[in-house]
Structure 1
Amino acid sequence: MIRVQQQDFDPAEEYHALRDSGSGTGAIATFTGLVRDSGDLKGVTGLFLEHYPGMTEQVIEGLVREASQRWDVREARVIHRIGRLALSEQIVFVGVCSAHRGDAFAACEFIMDALKTSAPFWKKEITGDSEHWVEQKAADRDRSQSWD
């Protein structure tokens, strides 16, 4: 299940959907990303996120498919928000269920790392008096490439 949306999400609902997805699940790993008050700029008051509709979902589907080829993924759920977001709002949810914790942890981390560098999202940091489009970080590229 993949969704790109403006509205918020409930991580507990997503967890329960993973837990109830079928037999054989022995582990669920989740990640929820939040808007923080610093990044490239100090004093960030919010973010604005854009994406490439249609292509974004296809890229994320490909990441989930790749994770499923590498690890025992029973189900994965990825939600990424777009639009204007305030401090502490949820940006992204990645959840993976598997028979074993190692596969769940690895697949969840892989999907999140790859999402940061592969999916066509653009993020603008907003402060009280400026806006700044965020460039992809070398550290994010290095983490994503470490899975190769």
Structure 2
Amino acid sequence: MPTDIHIRVEQQGFDPEAEQRALRRGRPQVGALVAFVGLMRDINQGQGVTAMTLEHYPGMTERALERMAAEAAGRWTLDAVSIIHRVGRMLPEEPIVLVAVTSRHRGDAFRACEFLIDYLKTRAPFWKQEETAQGTRWVEARASDDQAAARWDDPASAGA
């Protein structure tokens, strides 16, 4: 049975718990649901952050997320994948992203969820601008995120 894939990129907020309940509802075959919720935090690179704006290319971003989800479904036995990502202006404590994966077994769900968030951080077309007391700044990609994603390039070493 093919993996059920749900992708949303939206400005409005979302309830991560409600989204997870909806993902598993009516799926008695599911033995594991693993989720990652990324939250807007009030500090980055040692400076206070009062708000953040995420920009994207509509259409292109959704297609990139769909490709990532399909790749995860090709590597692991998954029932469903849901990726919800906010764009626009956000404040500290607000959810930014939800990556949720269901599977019959926890190992596949854990690996797929980690793979998806690592790939999303480095390969999804989003741009982040932070508001600080010193003004606004664009956030550069981090080498540590690239290193985390690179380990998935060799499926044998990543537990696929």
Measured in 1, the distance between the counterparts of 2:151 and 2:11 equals: 31
Q: Give yes or no for the alignment of 1:53 onto 2:58.
A: yes
Unaligned 5+ segments in structure 1 are none
SS of structure 2 residue aligned to 1:147: helix
Moved over 3 A (4+): none
- Equivalent residues in 2 for 1:34-113, closer than 5 Å: 34-40=39-45, 42-113=47-118
Measured in 2, the distance between the counterparts of 1:17 and 1:96 equals: 12
- Equivalent residue, structure 1, for 2:129: 124
Relative distance call for 1:14 and 1:81 in structure 2 (3 A) is same
Per the normalisation by structure 1, the TM-score is 0.96
Count residues in correspondence: 148
Relative distance call for 1:21 and 1:50 in structure 2 (3 A) is farther
For the 8 Å contact 1:49–1:123, the answer to whether it is kept is yes
SS of structure 2 residue aligned to 1:114: helix
Q: Give yes or no for the alignment of 1:30 onto 2:32.
A: no
- Equivalent residue, structure 2, for 1:5: 10
Measured in 1, the distance between the counterparts of 2:90 and 2:7 equals: 20
Measured in 2, the distance between the counterparts of 1:5 and 1:94 equals: 14
Q: What is the root-mean-square deviation in Å for CA atoms of aligned residues?
A: 1.1
SS of structure 2 residue aligned to 1:76: strand
Shift of 1:51: 0.4
Q: Pick which of 66-75 and 40-49 moved more.
A: 40-49
SS of structure 2 residue aligned to 1:107: helix
Give the letter aligned to residue 122 of structure 1: W
Give the letter aligned to residue 111 of structure 1: L
For the 8 Å contact 1:4–1:79, the answer to whether it is kept is yes
Q: Pick which of 115-124 and 18-27 moved more.
A: 18-27
Unaligned 5+ segments in structure 2 are 1-5, 154-160
Measured in 1, the distance between the counterparts of 2:92 and 2:62 equals: 25
User: What is the identity percentage for the equivalent residue pairs of Structure 1 and Structure 2?
Assistant: 51
